[in-house]
Chain A
Amino acid sequence: MKPAPFDYLRANTTQDALDALAQHGEDARVLAGGQSLMAVLNMRLAQPQLLVDISRTGELDTIRVERDGFLAVGAAVTQGSVEWRATLRDEVPLLALAFPHISHFQIRNRGTVCGSVAHADPSAELPLVLTALGGDVTLRSHRRVRTVAASDFFQGMLMTAREPDELVESVRFPLKKPGERFGFAECSARHGDFAMVACAAVVTDDAIRIAVGGVADRPVAERWPRLAGDDLRGALNDLSWKLGAQDDAHISATYRRHLVRQLGWRVIEEAK
């Protein structure tokens, strides 16, 4: 339960990190909060040659409200510092609803928002929120800077559009627009455990957007008209089958579909 040996680079600037990623590519791993990566290293499930530590890279530790309607969170920003932001409930209410479900207070204090997005666990809450809101991810390398929509960024279990020389520099959550209302719910074995199923909803006067995590190999979002009653139950049932739920050691595919129908209903009703 100790990591295998690796070289360690403390990146003082974004440029330091990009230089290292350009040189070492897949042999390097970015260490931000380390709340997933360090556990993986301790169990030796990953044995990178080089860790590029960005946790103290000041220029990546920034939260900005952008004029075009986004909350932009830099790569070194901890989940805790977003969660305890006094204005979060007005800016991105869905994030405020989701944070209490993300692991524990002690983990959120150090875990980063971008790190969770880059890790791309299909049951993780932050990729789900980013997908539900239609946010995006900014990737920077020596070669280019590009912005990728959440729906294109998440490509499978722990798989993303990030190239080996790219750094997830920031993620952007759309700010709440007038008339939008939100719901979030998840089911896990114990509080703070990985979600069996998690659902997020954004409801306006004429539309419903629902996103589901923990079932498919990535978070999945759908946009519906403002359904109600049996129409809504039917749509949720269709969605529950479409996600390709599978049996695993903890719960059955049948129960996962049940949770999609139940939690989906709950978050949409909560948001209406």
Chain B
Amino acid sequence: MNDGLCRRDGRQRIALTLNGRERSGFCEPRDLLSDFLRHELGATGTHVGCEHGVCGACTVQIDGVAARSCLMLAVQADGRRVDTVEGLADGDALSDLQQAFQRHHALQCGFCTAGILMSCADWLRRVPDPSEDEVREMLSGHLCRCTGYTPIVAAVLDVAARRRHAVAATERADA
């Protein structure tokens, strides 16, 4: 995209780094990032619920920071790093966060899960040793109608504890 003005009826080419790969596509100024990811790039792992920032289903990471893709224009993602749920696993190997969700049955229908995982992945980097209250406050930005949240909270606390133990074990091995 050229800097400056995009006309409402003009289709702009934008380029971004999606889960580590350079991708590009076309959008109008009013196209939401959530729709661009799903319809233009075919990355349908990101789900769209309320489209006004309340439900959290469409949460992705922009330059590593969790944010709603329905409250961002596709043109605003030009040149940025966007990470979605498709990027969490390493091939067929689920990430530790995804494995914790599986162990604790932290999803049923799965509609909200992609957004929750992307929030948790950012947040746990900043808050490695969270309390249950802090986890619940972070999860208040997501609506889940299946689980009642309890198994999600358990999964987040579990993965945080395992990461701390892993760090402690590495430090002991180094000592």
A interface residue numbers (CB < 8 A to B): 1-10, 12, 16, 31, 34-35, 38-39, 41-43, 51, 53, 55-56, 80, 84, 100, 103-107, 109-110, 190-192
B3 near A106: Cβ-Cβ < 8 Å: no
In this complex, what residue of A is CB-closest to B9?
A: A5
B141 near A4: Cβ-Cβ < 8 Å: no
Total of A-B residue pairs, C-beta within 8 Å: 109
A-B contact pairs, 15 of them (CB 8 A): A1-B51, A1-B52, A5-B28, A5-B29, A12-B3, A35-B71, A38-B53, A38-B70, A38-B73, A51-B29, A53-B76, A56-B76, A106-B68, A109-B65, A192-B141
In this complex, what residue of A is CB-closest to B53?
A: A39
| B82 shortest CB reach to chain A, Å | 13
B5 near A7: Cβ-Cβ < 8 Å: yes
A105 near B119: Cβ-Cβ < 8 Å: yes
A106 near B30: Cβ-Cβ < 8 Å: no
B119 near A110: Cβ-Cβ < 8 Å: no
B73 near A8: Cβ-Cβ < 8 Å: yes
Cα-based distance from A209 to B3 in the complex (angstroms): 47
A42 near B32: Cβ-Cβ < 8 Å: yes
| A83 shortest CB reach to chain B, Å | 11
| B148 shortest CB reach to chain A, Å | 15
| A37 shortest CB reach to chain B, Å | 9
User: Assuming A106-B119, A109-B67, is B72 touching A38 (CB within 8 A)?
Assistant: yes
Q: Which of A2, A8, A35 contacts B75 (CB 8 A)?
A: A8
Q: Which of A34, A35, A106 contacts B56 (CB 8 A)?
A: A106
Q: For A8, list chain B residues within 8 Å (CB).
A: 5-6, 8, 29, 73, 75
In this complex, what residue of A is CB-closest to B68?
A: A106
| A200 shortest CB reach to chain B, Å | 20
Decide if the interface of chain A is mainly helix, strand, loop or mixed: loop
Given contacts A38-B70, A42-B70, A56-B76, 10 further A-B contacts (CB under 8 A): A7-B5, A8-B5, A10-B3, A12-B4, A34-B76, A80-B65, A105-B123, A106-B66, A109-B66, A192-B141
| B4 shortest CB reach to chain A, Å | 7
> Which of B51, B53, B65 has the largest number of chain A CB atoms within 10 A?
B53
* B59, CB-defined interface residue at 8 Å: yes
B138 near A105: Cβ-Cβ < 8 Å: yes
A110 near B67: Cβ-Cβ < 8 Å: yes
* B171, CB-defined interface residue at 8 Å: no
* B140, CB-defined interface residue at 8 Å: yes
Q: Which of B3, B51, B76, B122 contacts A55 (CB 8 A)?
A: B76
Cα-based distance from A106 to B141 in the complex (angstroms): 7
| B134 shortest CB reach to chain A, Å | 10
Q: For B123, list chain A residues within 8 Å (CB).
A: 105
> Which of B4, B9, B67, B75 has the largest number of chain A CB atoms within 10 A?
B67
A34 near B6: Cβ-Cβ < 8 Å: no
Q: For A31, list chain B residues within 8 Å (CB).
A: 73
Q: For A7, list chain B residues within 8 Å (CB).
A: 5-8, 29
Q: For B6, list chain A residues within 8 Å (CB).
A: 7-9
* B126, CB-defined interface residue at 8 Å: yes
In this complex, what residue of A is CB-closest to B51?
A: A1
* B137, CB-defined interface residue at 8 Å: yes
User: Assuming A9-B4, A106-B119, is B52 touching A43 (CB within 8 A)?
Assistant: yes
Q: For A5, list chain B residues within 8 Å (CB).
A: 8-9, 28-30
A2 near B30: Cβ-Cβ < 8 Å: yes
Q: For A192, list chain B residues within 8 Å (CB).
A: 140-141
Q: Which of B29, B56, B137 contacts A6 (CB 8 A)?
A: B29
Interface residues in B70-101 (C-beta closer than 8 Å to A): 70-73, 75-76
Q: For B8, list chain A residues within 8 Å (CB).
A: 5-8
Cα-based distance from A3 to B29 in the complex (angstroms): 10
Q: For B66, list chain A residues within 8 Å (CB).
A: 105-106, 109
Cα-based distance from A37 to B15 in the complex (angstroms): 24
Cα-based distance from A272 to B44 in the complex (angstroms): 53
